[in-house]
Amino acid sequence: MNYVQEKVVVITGAGSGFGKLTSEKLAKMGARIILADINKEAAESAADGIKSEGGIAEYVVADVSDKEQVEKMVQFAVDTFGRIDVLINNAGTMPMAMFAAKENDIWDKCIDINLKGPIYGITAVMDIMIRQGEGQVVNISSLYGTCTHAGAGVYSATKSGLKMISDALRGETRGKIKVSTIYPSAAATNISSTVLDYSVPSDLYGKHFAEFMERIEKNPESLTNPDMNDPGSMMLSAEAITDAIIYCINQPKGITISDIMVRATNEAMVY
């Protein structure tokens, strides 16, 4: 069954990575997509790509750390398609660095984007979905929402906070709004460009870092385009995550998929 057909889906951070690929795949399944991103060119080109393939999509520029812009994004979706079935809170940054680096301004912004952004999104769509009698919020957390290590504290705090927000929203709106949380492990997207201290991600592989580097040296593509048929893979493709997001959305009305964690089979993070 295709439960995605004609659904109106608003996706933040839709100009790149999971957001872009999820938009493309949902559009191919017949959903109507609002692609929101702080990066106008990226959002516009992603929306144009969908339209050129016959899909239904519009883009809107929105900085999710700004409540008014998020409210305008939601209004734009309603004005364009008349309703909102799904909000995917996906936009995020990962400015990992040790506390000793005192990157407070950048961390403040990360908290605004990763944690306050989804709250602004939820409060903006809530009344609309309750009025419709149905709706769904999908929050993109992280493996880091369930554990952490040195240098990942602020990012982890935003992502574990997102799990709590999801669970509280599900309890508050049960029977009306479905709430799903996705916990991706490391996947090949542009998010690594927002890391401040690259010794931190190397730390996250801990005792397995040498194995990770050896795999990349032997096969550089395993970093950017990992083979998901390889049981030795230590990275995920973006597609592995988008399939999990779509699985949450492509369900009948009475079923909520609350939590999905996706890991590479040979993942060696944190432990």
Ligand X SMILES: NC(=O)c1ccc[n+]([C@@H]2O[C@H](COP(=O)([O-])OP(=O)(O)OC[C@H]3O[C@@H](n4cnc5c(N)ncnc54)[C@H](O)[C@@H]3O)[C@@H](O)[C@H]2O)c1
Q: Which residues bind ligand X (CB under 6 A)?
A: 12-13, 15-19, 37-39, 42, 62-65, 90-94, 113, 140, 142, 184, 186-187, 189-191
Select which of 59, 120, 155, 205 is catalytic: 155
Q: Which is nearer to ligand X, 17 or 135 (CB)?
A: 17
Q: Which is nearer to ligand X, 6 or 203 (CB)?
A: 203
Minimum Å gap between C-beta 252 and ligand X is: 26
Among 225, 145, 131, 221, CA closest to 185: 145
Q: Residue 270 to residues 152, 177, 188: CA-CA distances in angstroms?
A: 11, 33, 18
CA 248/CA 4 separation, integer angstroms:
10
Q: Which is nearer to ligand X, 19 or 135 (CB)?
A: 19
Residue 271 appears among annotated catalytic residues: no
Instruction: Tell me the sheet residues that pair with 260.
Output: 182
Q: Which is nearer to ligand X, 89 or 250 (CB)?
A: 89
Q: Which two tokens stand for residue 220?
A: 């550089």
For ligand X, which residue has the nearest CB?
17
Minimum Å gap between C-beta 254 and ligand X is: 28
Q: Which two tokens stand for residue 6?
A: 């004609």
Could you give the dihedral angle defined by the CA atoms of residues 191, 124, 127 and 134, in that order, rounded to the nearest 10 degrees? -20
Minimum Å gap between C-beta 87 and ligand X is: 13
**57 and 27 Cβ atoms separated by less than 8 Å:** yes
CA angle 261, 252, 12 (to 5 degrees): 55
Minimum Å gap between C-beta 43 and ligand X is: 8
Q: Which is nearer to ligand X, 62 or 84 (CB)?
A: 62
Minimum Å gap between C-beta 167 and ligand X is: 18
Q: Which is nearer to ligand X, 5 or 224 (CB)?
A: 224
| Axis crossing angle, helix 117-132 with helix 67-81, rounded to the nearest 10 | 30
Minimum Å gap between C-beta 60 and ligand X is: 10
The DSSP symbol for 186 reads S
Give the count of beta carbons closer than 10 Å to the beta carbon of residue 137. 24
Pairing of strands 56-61, 135-140: unpaired
Give backbone dihedrals phi and psi of 134, rounded to 5 degrees, phi first: -165, 160
CA 262/CA 42 separation, integer angstroms:
26
| Residues annotated as part of the active site | 155
